[in-house]
Amino acid sequence: MIRTSTRVLITLGLLGLPGLALADNLKTLTTNNYGVPGGLIDMPTAESAPDGQLSTNVTYFDGFYRATLSFQITDRLTGSFRYAGTEGISPTFSTYYDRSFDLRFRVFDETDWTPAVSVGLRDFVGTGLLSSEYVVATKSIGDRLRVTGGLGFGRLGSYASDGSIGSRAPFSFAQAGTGGQFNVDDWFQGDYAFFGGVSYQATDKLLLSAEYSSDNYDTAQAAGVLKRSTPWNFALSYQINDGTALRAFALHGEEFGAALTFSLNPKTPSVKGGTELAPLPVAVRGPRSAEDLGWTTQPGREKAITASLENSLQQSELDLEGVTLNARSAHVRIRNEKYDATSQALGRTLRVMSRELPASVEMLHVTLIENGIPASTMSFSRTDLERLEHRPAREALAAAQFSDTLRFGDYPDPFPEVYPRFEWSIAPYLRTSLFDPNDPLRVDLGVRAKGKYHLGSGWVLSGSVGQKVVGNLDEAAQPNNSQLPRVRSDTALYNQTDEPFLEHLTVAKYGRLAPDFYSRVTAGYLERMYAGVSGEVLWKPVNSRLALGAELNYTHPRDFDQQFGLRSRVTPGGTIPEFNGHVSAYYDFGNGFHGQLDAGRYLAGDWGSTITLDREFANGWKIGAFATFTDVSSSQFGEGSFDKGIRFTVPLSWLLGQPTKQKASGVIRPLTRDGGQRLEVDGRLYETIRGSHRPEVAKSWGKYWR
């Protein structure tokens, strides 16, 4: 009877029913017990979250803990990272912690007659404890009911198998090894079984779910930590608001549990519309006023115009560093430390120029300065500015001309008072350590003082000092059995100081070698673990989505107290090399995705490459993943097999509703080992320059008139 019911559900899901309503390609804010978008409990569906949705799910039932971060990478592709703990399942650990990655791709959209179909991989690069593959179909019936049926392998083929394809070894702790390897040979192999379920949207907030599960929880049952009386699971989910959902569920006729999900979408700002003051309107010149050149012969008029420009730009929170002016054109040198959208800074600069410059000035040129060097020059005709103010922003983008400042020609020299210049800030900091088997989350909270002293064009003296206030990072006591030079695995030793510590203290010289070429040399205490010298060259045309770079570093490990001393290069795992560096290629795909490829020598002396892919949003949000493959073997690398992780950047303007260039960035690694590790030097050229070039400016061009 059970097998018959299952096939009925699957048939409904796969074939669909005539006259059924579509549901926006089966979008959902609900996540299942594995933190993946879907309205069932343990079983997957072909549903997707809204494009760009980011969710964090925490699930618990009787000794099983799961925390999952899921991201709707594209409309069709979902990625998830999971950290799970299970009590009593392992012969070695009281609680066995496991990390896993998932991917799911919607192959077919739902139509009037056919279901949406997705293919998924669960725990495809890990120890294999949760390893599963599946093909699943979901169909909506009316506006409230959704029916799902699918075929699962691995864990999802472990109960009431309907057959097998090839062979697949069952999971065992003895064979789990270091984990972190792509278990491609097992994908869609071994026993398979059918699963299915239904979800019913009882109200706008309440979702009811029932499923037939094909996961037998073999390892947990063998360890005696779980009983399974029935394959049927049930759940009740309540959507508290758009960002919070609560779920209660019953599993296998034996267990009860709960789940909590927090979600947000980078596309939806927390403060809609922004709260910054509106800009001044463009001043439109009168008929034939452009013919008046009398101002050019008036003593002191140019000086008065410059003072007026500087004052008006300061009111817009932009810094005028220099200006050249003649009868028909004006060229300003601008430093933007306020607006995260460069287009907004450019638009406000041009508005001010239209109001303060004599009517005869037709061509307006704006050079953007980054770390004391020209990053780009934008030119805009005053006639176009007046004509297009109330037109769509895309028309203004077509009229704007971006050029390399060196190729453009002479640009204004800085005013004498621009240098030297000092900037400082004091703010709290939060430092975390994740996935320690003894304590999965450790935190330090402290205070950080930062300062920058701009000595002259391209010269920057920078430093940062911190003081821990409270925290438990110093309690980490993981044994270090690294077979490589300990370039990062000794991080815990750097967290054991209670004294003020020097995060970095450097002097950097930024320069322009030629049109399209940029340079940087940084020397001093480069980061909390290394001192030395870092040199970099970048080729990046202003209108190109491609950039190429090369970096060479001479480094020496710092003392664990992070004062001014250095320690020996010799470690139990080997000697830390003096030199490391990479060649890099950066490419903006133009569709919201950005790729980076780095190849070279890493801190431990291993050679290889890092692949990074980021989803970037026009408002500055970035979410991406990276993986590094070097000549270090999996056994040498240790647990995790290779370096990989997730990185993100959150612009504070998204949270505050006010323009600011401040942002919060972080990296989540399943483990930090010694293979594939790079130097963390501040102010690398690509991120310094990129925001002033046309492809990046165009992304936020909607703010040009704001």
Give tens-digit pLDDT for 66-91: 999 999 999 999 999 999 999 989 88
Q: Report the 3 state secondary structure along 294-342.
A: HHHHCCCHHHHHHHHHHHHHHHCCCEEEEEEECCCEEEEEEECCCCCCH
Flag whether pLDDT at 274 surpasses 80: no
Flag whether pLDDT at 577 surpasses 60: yes
Q: Which of 234-238, 284-288, 394-398 has the lowest mean pLDDT?
A: 284-288
Q: Which of 49-53, 224-228, 256-260, 508-512 has the lowest mean pLDDT?
A: 224-228
Give the C-alpha separation, 31 to 36, whole Å. Answer: 5
In 170-231 the beta strands, taken as DSSP E runs, fall at: 181-182, 190-201, 206-212
For residue 404, what pLDDT band results from cuts at 50, 70 and 90?
very high
User: In a 3-state reduction of DSSP, which class is residue 173?
Assistant: helix
**Pairing outcome for strands 530-539 and 593-601:** unpaired
From the list 68, 162, 80, the residue with the least C-alpha distance to 121 is 80
Q: Which residue has the tokens 């770079």?
A: 549
The one-letter code for the residue type at 111 is T
Residues 691-705 have pLDDT tens digits of: 999 999 999 999 999
Give the C-alpha separation, 419 to 415, whole Å. Answer: 8
Residues 4-45 have pLDDT tens digits of: 444 434 434 443 443 344 456 789 999 999 999 999 999 999
Degrees, nearest 5: CA angle 361-364-370 = 145
From the list 614, 558, 606, the residue with the least C-alpha distance to 582 is 606
Section 41-58 average pLDDT: 97
Residue 340 has which token pair? Answer: 């995260």
Section 285-307 average pLDDT: 87
Can you list the domains of the chain with their CATH numbers? Answer: 2-264 (2.40.160.40), 295-418 (3.30.300), 421-456+458-478+487-696 (2.40.160)
pLDDT of residue 24: 66
Give the C-alpha separation, 597 to 608, whole Å. Answer: 11
Q: Are 49 and 27 in contact (CB under 8 A)?
A: yes
The overall average pLDDT reported for the chain is 91
Q: Is 554 exposed, middle or buried (0-12, 13-18, 19+ CB in 10 A)?
A: middle
Bridge partners (DSSP) of residue 523 are 507, 533
For residue 176, what pLDDT band results from cuts at 50, 70 and 90?
low
Section 273-294 average pLDDT: 85
CA distances from residue 114 to 10, 151, 346, 452 in whole angstroms, order as listed: 13, 17, 50, 61
The one-letter code for the residue type at 146 is R
Give the C-alpha separation, 126 to 80, whole Å. Answer: 13
Q: Which residue has the tokens 């815990």?
A: 492
For residue 458, what pLDDT band results from cuts at 50, 70 and 90?
very high
pLDDT of residue 660: 93
Flag whether pLDDT at 189 surpasses 80: yes
Give the C-alpha separation, 31 to 25, whole Å. Answer: 16
Phi, psi of 222 (to 5 degrees): -65, -30
Give the C-alpha separation, 692 to 616, whole Å. Answer: 16
User: In a 3-state reduction of DSSP, which class is residue 496?
Assistant: coil
Bridge partners (DSSP) of residue 366 are 332, 378
Q: Is 172 exposed, middle or buried (0-12, 13-18, 19+ CB in 10 A)?
A: exposed
Residue 197 C-alpha from the chain's centroid:
34
Residue 367 has which token pair? Answer: 């050079």
pLDDT of residue 42: 97
Section 455-460 average pLDDT: 96
The one-letter code for the residue type at 599 is A
Give the C-alpha separation, 98 to 58, whole Å. Answer: 15
Q: Is 278 exposed, middle or buried (0-12, 13-18, 19+ CB in 10 A)?
A: exposed
Flag whether pLDDT at 627 surpasses 80: yes
Q: Classify the phi-psi angles of 357: left when phi > 0, otherwise alpha if psi is within -120 to 50, otherwise beta.
A: beta
Q: Which helix (H) or strand (E) holds 175?
A: helix 173-176
